[in-house]
Structure 1
Amino acid sequence: MPKIPDCDNCLFYAHNPYLVCAVHLDGVDANNCIDFRSKPNAQIEELWHPVGATYYNGELILQPRQRWTQEQQLELLDWHPMFTGFCPGCGAKFEHDYTTRVHWDCADCGWMDDTV
């Protein structure tokens, strides 16, 4: 089986006379391995996470519960000024300052964005 000198220092080295690597069972065909891990004592990061949570910078973060159903979220695309550019109350046009706007309240008719 093809073995390169780096195999002995790899995290995936099998230390078995019949297997070279736990990833590449037949060995590698080149002079280097794309799956080489140079730290044999490295901790393997667990990528599993519970439903509703994700890892951010190595810390498990629980995602907030969605208060709207998928159908309600799709309806929001049809009427919310962030997507349409117009007030749903009076039809007034909003300025194109989407990156700085937090609240979508209309000065003309008094419509207030209560989705936030």
Structure 2
Amino acid sequence: MPKIPECDRCLLYAQNPHIICVVHPTGVDGNSCLDFREDPNAESVEPWEPEAATYYNGELILQPNQRWTREEQLELIDTHPMFTGKCPQCQHEFDHDYTAWVHWDCPECGWMDDSV
């Protein structure tokens, strides 16, 4: 039977394995129900979320393994020319169309990007 996630929190939910609810005994067609009524007594259950995973649109997505720690990632955002537009060593400003660049080597001081 096509039961949607909201059914468990609905006043009309039958709590029966053979009937979904009094209005839609066999379930609803689609991803939502126009007759949904929030049950104030329903238990609010947070979905379990393992480490290195996140829910997106109700689906659990595993995050890829990161080669940098969280602190290293934040430092990269604060200093890398891709985000700042400037060389982290000499503060030379790159051209304004720097968002399409792949290699970030500074022509002034010789700093070379080794993050790629």
Normalising by structure 1, report the TM-score. 0.50
Q: Which has the larger radius of gyration?
A: 1
